[in-house]
Amino acid sequence: MSRYDALFEPFTFKSGVTINNRIVMAPMTHYSSNDDGSISDAELRYYAERAGSPSLVITACANVTANGKAFTGQPAADRDEMIAGMKKLTGVIHKAKAKAVLQIHHGGRECPPELVPNGDIVSASDVDTSTGDAHARALTSDETEAIVQAFGEATRRAIEAGFDGVEIHGANGYLVQQFYSPATNRRTDKWGGSLEKRLAFPLAVVDAVKKAAAEAEQPFLVGYRLSPEEPYEPGITMADTYTLLDALVEKDLDYLHISMLDFWSKARRGADPERSRIEQILERIGSKVPVIGVGSLHTADDALKALETGVPLIALGRELVIEPHWAEKIRSGKEAEIQTALKLDDRERLVIPEPLWNNIISRPGWFPFES
C-alpha cells in the first residue's frame, strides 16, 4: 500500500484495450526518424529507455500525407513502405509491456516549404504560415476529402504494424485544428462558413479513422487530441471547444486528450476565467469519454493531485524525457529521486537523440535545466 496506488490502477478503454497504470507518455516529436520518415535506430533506443514507465506510449506525430510533414525527422505513416519500421517501434514498446498508440497528423500551414513537395503548403484557407514567411493555399474540396481518407489509410497501417490504437492530432494549431478555427477556416463550401461546418473536417477524420479501426482484429483504440483555446481573436474559445466536445462525445471515442502546457491553466474566453479549463471540460462531458490531462506535471504528488480532479489518465511529456524511469521510481518508493530538470551533460545517459537534444538546447526556457 502506497499513497500513490491510484497511479497504478489498471484501466480499460471502451474498445477493450487494457493498460496497467494511469500514466501515458505524451506524444513528442523527436526530429529523429530517418529522412524518408522511416523509424530510426536512435528513435527505437529513445522509446526503449522510456516505455517501462507509462502504460500507454503515444508516439511523435506521424504525417499522413507527404504535404503534411511539419518537422525534419518526423515519422511518416503515409505509405506502406513505412510499416516495417513501424513494426519495430511497436515491438520495442510492447517489450516494455506498454501499449502503443500512433499519433496521426497533418501539419497544414505549419509545414515549412522545404519539407513539402514543391513547397506547396496547404491549409483550410488561403492564409500565411504561422511564422508568416510563406503562404498556404486553400485545399480544394476533393483534396480535403483525400486527406480525410489518408487519416483512415494511416490507421490501417498502424493496425498492420501492431499498434494498439491511434490518436488523431486535432491540437496545437495543425490542420485538423486549422479547419475548426475561425482564424484559419474562411471557406464557404461544405468544409466551412459556420461553426457547424467548421466541424465537418474534424468529424470526417474521426469517421474515416473509426471505419479503418473497425477492421482491426484485436482491440484497437481511437483517441482525439485537442487544444481547448487559441490565444488570438478570432480564434477558438472555450465556448467553441464545448461545441467540439459535444460533437466528439457522440463519436464513441476511447479518450479525449486535452493538450495544455499547464494542467491547471484557467479559461480565457467563453467559460469561467476563475476556474481551470480541465475542471470545466470534465463538467461538460461528464463520464461520457475518459479524458487524458497533461501539462507540467513533474512529481508523483503533481500527478496524484491531477487525478483527483477526476481525469482517469495523465500524460507526461518533458518529464519523461528528463526522467525515463519516472513510474519505476515511484513504484519502488524512490519518488524523491525523480529528476525534474536536465543537466547539460545528460544527453547520452538519458538516451535522448541528438536532433531532439539540439532542439531542446536551442529553445531556452522550454525544458528546465539545473544551474
Catalytic residues: 174
Q: Would you count residue 63 as binding ligand FMN (CB under 6 A)?
A: no
Query: Cβ–Cβ contacts within 10 Å for residue 12, how many?
Result: 12
Residue in 78, 153, 229, 319 binding ligand FMN, rule: CB under 6 A = 319
Shortest reach from residue 263's CB to ligand FMN, in Å: 8
Q: Would you count residue 322 as binding ligand FMN (CB under 6 A)?
A: no
Q: Would you count residue 295 as binding ligand FMN (CB under 6 A)?
A: yes
Q: Which of residues 134-173 bind ligand FMN (CB under 6 A)?
A: 169, 171-172
In order of 30, 41, 205, 242, 332, the CA distances from 228 in angstroms are: 24, 35, 18, 9, 36
Quick one: cell of 161?
A: 504494424
**How many angstroms separate the CA atoms of 200 and 190, rounded?**
7
* Cis bond upstream, residue 234 (ω within 30): yes
DSSP run (H or E) holding 99: strand 99-105
Considering only the stretches 32-40, 80-88, 113-121, 288-296, report the one whose residues sit in contact with ligand FMN under the rule CB under 6 A. Answer: 288-296
Which residue lies nearer to ligand FMN by CB, 20 or 299?
299
Residue in 294, 300, 306, 352 binding ligand FMN, rule: CB under 6 A = 294
Asked whether the beta carbons of 54 and 320 are under 8 A apart, the reply is yes
Quick one: cell of 355?
A: 536532433
Q: Would you count residue 101 as binding ligand FMN (CB under 6 A)?
A: no
Residue in 149, 296, 309, 340 binding ligand FMN, rule: CB under 6 A = 296
Q: Identify the residue whose cell numbers are 529507455.
A: 49
Q: Would you count residue 27 as binding ligand FMN (CB under 6 A)?
A: yes
Closest C-alpha to 59, from 21, 109, 24, 106: 24
Alpha helices in 125-234 (DSSP H): 141-160, 175-180, 195-198, 200-213
Which residue lies nearer to ligand FMN by CB, 214 or 261?
261
Residue in 7, 17, 24, 26 binding ligand FMN, rule: CB under 6 A = 26
Which residue lies nearer to ligand FMN by CB, 138 or 154?
154
Alpha helices in 161-199 (DSSP H): 175-180, 195-198
Quick one: cell of 281?
A: 471540460
How many residues sit in the footprint of ligand FMN (CB under 6 A)? 21
Which residue lies nearer to ligand FMN by CB, 109 or 318?
318
Residue in 88, 109, 156, 225 binding ligand FMN, rule: CB under 6 A = 225
**Which residues are at the interface with ligand FMN (CB under 6 A)?**
26-29, 60-61, 103, 169, 171-172, 225, 259, 261, 294-297, 316-319
